[in-house]
Amino acid sequence: MNSAPQPISHIALTGLVAAGKIESCSAVGQRAGWYLKVKQGPALLALASEDDLKIFPTLSALGDYLRGLGITSFLSDTSELDQDALDPETKERLNEAKQAAEYGAWFRQQVQEALNDRRPTTSHSVVQEKFAKRRAASLKKLAKA
């Protein structure tokens, strides 16, 4: 994924989204704003107009654009930003975006591990019964003390 993305127009991107061909989306931060990078099979694409990257002024504006396409989940990539050249407020917002992305990745990993877990499941009623007995035993101990 280190190769330069190929330009894609809004119309072509809309068609790929409608066909369910987009594997992932990333909002890539630059000093001028954010651009959209998408993965479709082996291809890495960037939203462009006339071969110039379409730059969104804010991450929120890019998010609004994606929601309009029906895309509700995307990654944020700040690797192209010069952290030393940013003002403190921007650095804080980027740090928050990075933390949110890291949490999202961790959470998705936890969900996938749970889905892949092949241990037998326990029904809710069995768990409730087990803990009701434990709670009763604990209360009995406390009453004796």
pLDDT at 57: 87
Above 90 in pLDDT, residue 47? yes
Q: In the 8-state DSSP scheme, what is residue 9?
A: -
pLDDT at 1: 45
Maximum pairwise Cα distance, the chain = 80
Domains annotated for the chain, with CATH where assigned, are 6-85 (3.30.720)
Cα–Cα distance between 29 and 6 in angstroms, integer?
Answer: 17
Q: Which two tokens stand for residue 21?
A: 């061909």
| Confidence class for position 83, pLDDT limits 50, 70, 90 | low
